[in-house]
Amino acid sequence: MSSSQQARAVVLEAFGAPVRSRELPVAEPGPGAIVATVELAGVCGTDVHLQAGRLPIPLPVVLGHEGVGRIAALGEGVTEDSLGTPLAAGDLVAWGSSISCGDCFYCRDAQEPTLCERRRIYGINRRADEWPHLGGAWAEAIYLHPGSMVVRLGAGTPPEAVIALGCAGPTAVHGLLGVAPVGVGESVVVQGVGPVGLATAMYAQLAGAANVVLIGGPASRLERARALGVGDAYLELDAQSPAERLDAVRELTGGRGGDLVVEATGVPAAVAEGLELCRPGGRYLVLGQYTDHGPTPLNPHLVTRKQLRVLGSWAFSQADYATYLRTVPQLAARFDLPRLLERFTLGDAQAALDAARAGEVGKAVLVPDAG
């Protein structure tokens, strides 16, 4: 931090305008809260959407829903992390981005906290002009409220590995381990090779899939996946027609289609193709339809005739985030995660956003103390 009282932060003040660097006061942590200095903060496609004004959020806001840092100060009563490990100033920690209300039908009765309508999310719906101001990870410090999922990072969980997948990691955990678990020996087809597609494919491999087929583009992204050891076969979107891809997937899956097909594109038209790519009796995980583009032509007969299970997955819970952190060492042992990183200073946050928008980088991250 620039001083003990102030921290620099990247603030979105107006939709469509460049982000601004501001000095904001660092609050003392209240009971149950934590103040952490940020070591690495991820830049995510959602940040691009936020800046463009595509999501209804309050402004101004300190961006950054992905972060890893060190404990600066512990509020009264905080002696352990959320998994029961003792915590002290200086400890390296990661935190989940959201806090559900714990009280509504979805939190308490249905036990589906990702559907909570009162979720508070760091870097998204916490105003920068209200106490405690530092509500996002694109800053020298962040104020972590009581109820946050904060986990001390052990030796096997390097911060670079945690941040390399960003929120795509726990999103894949929620979808692929929670909503539509993969069985050992199964064939998995992943539509999309952005962060969510990549993370999903990694978890499919970790879960024992016999065969992971990646569909996407451009070729450079498929190449990046291949270089990381992610996926067993690659179909370039622009090189084939949908009918050719269907043939190719069938050939790779014993003639039947994928046991599990994962939609990780955000493009509505991908869903029509995905239903075709599933084998009879298969599952289709609709993981990427985050924005509402309205209706698209889909054939419901396929759902009945092939007896499909079409499964939606929204966001991730604190439990998913805990599972994510628990499995980062396994991912890191198998895939060279830090290789994905491209570092930016806080001052270059707008350049990082631009790079993320262009899809040029594996994973843009901000390093607050780098300048």
> Binding to a second copy (CB under 8 A): which residues in 119-138?
none
CB nearer to a second copy: pick between 80 and 247: 80
Beta bridge partners of 285: 262, 311
CB of 18 to a second copy, least distance (A): 29
Question: Which of 18, 229, 254, 359 forms a contact with a second copy (CB under 8 A)?
Answer: 254
Question: Which of 37, 46, 51, 82 forms a contact with a second copy (CB under 8 A)?
Answer: 82
- Distance (Å, rounded) from C-alpha 184 to C-alpha 165? 23
Q: Which stretch binds a second copy (CB under 8 A): 2-10, 193-201, 213-221, 250-258?
A: 250-258
Q: Which stretch binds a second copy (CB under 8 A): 16-24, 192-200, 324-332, 344-352?
A: 324-332
Contact (Cβ atoms closer than 8 angstroms) between residue 285 and residue 259 = no
Triad 235, 237, 242: Cα angle to 5°: 90
- Distance (Å, rounded) from C-alpha 80 to C-alpha 132? 22
Question: Which of 310, 340, 341, 352 forms a contact with a second copy (CB under 8 A)?
Answer: 310
Q: Judged by CB under 8 A, does residue 297 bind a second copy?
A: yes
Q: Judged by CB under 8 A, does residue 242 bind a second copy?
A: no
- Distance (Å, rounded) from C-alpha 124 to C-alpha 295? 27
In single-letter form, the type of residue at position 331 comes to L
Beta bridge partners of 260: 188, 283
Q: Judged by CB under 8 A, does residue 343 bind a second copy?
A: no
CB of 263 to a second copy, least distance (A): 8
Binding to a second copy, residues 8-37 (CB under 8 A) = none
Sheet holding 6-12, edge to edge: 20-25, 6-12, 61-62
Q: Which stretch binds a second copy (CB under 8 A): 46-54, 109-117, 189-197, 242-250?
A: 109-117
Strands 363-366 and 341-344: parallel
Triad 292, 97, 356: Cα angle to 5°: 60
Question: Which of 71, 323, 344, 352 forms a contact with a second copy (CB under 8 A)?
Answer: 323
Binding to a second copy, residues 195-234 (CB under 8 A) = 203, 206-208, 210
Q: Judged by CB under 8 A, does residue 112 bind a second copy?
A: yes
Q: Judged by CB under 8 A, does residue 322 bind a second copy?
A: yes
Nearest to 69 by CA among 168, 149, 16, 141: 141
Beta bridge partners of 342: 364
Binding to a second copy by CB under 8 A, coded x per residue (else -) over 43-72, reads ------------------------------
CB of 29 to a second copy, least distance (A): 17
Q: Judged by CB under 8 A, does residue 307 bind a second copy?
A: yes
Contact (Cβ atoms closer than 8 angstroms) between residue 213 and residue 238 = no
Triad 47, 261, 296: Cα angle to 5°: 65
For 340, the 3-state DSSP assignment is: helix
Please name the residues in contact with 82: beta carbons below 8 A apart, sequence gap of 6 or more.
148, 149, 150, 151, 318, 322
Q: Judged by CB under 8 A, does residue 243 bind a second copy?
A: no
Binding to a second copy, residues 136-165 (CB under 8 A) = 147, 149
Question: Which of 120, 224, 256, 357 forms a contact with a second copy (CB under 8 A)?
Answer: 256
CB of 13 to a second copy, least distance (A): 28
Q: Judged by CB under 8 A, does residue 167 bind a second copy?
A: no
CB of 338 to a second copy, least distance (A): 20
Q: Which residue has the tokens 């024992």?
A: 208
Strands 120-121 and 141-144: unpaired
Q: Judged by CB under 8 A, does residue 314 bind a second copy?
A: yes
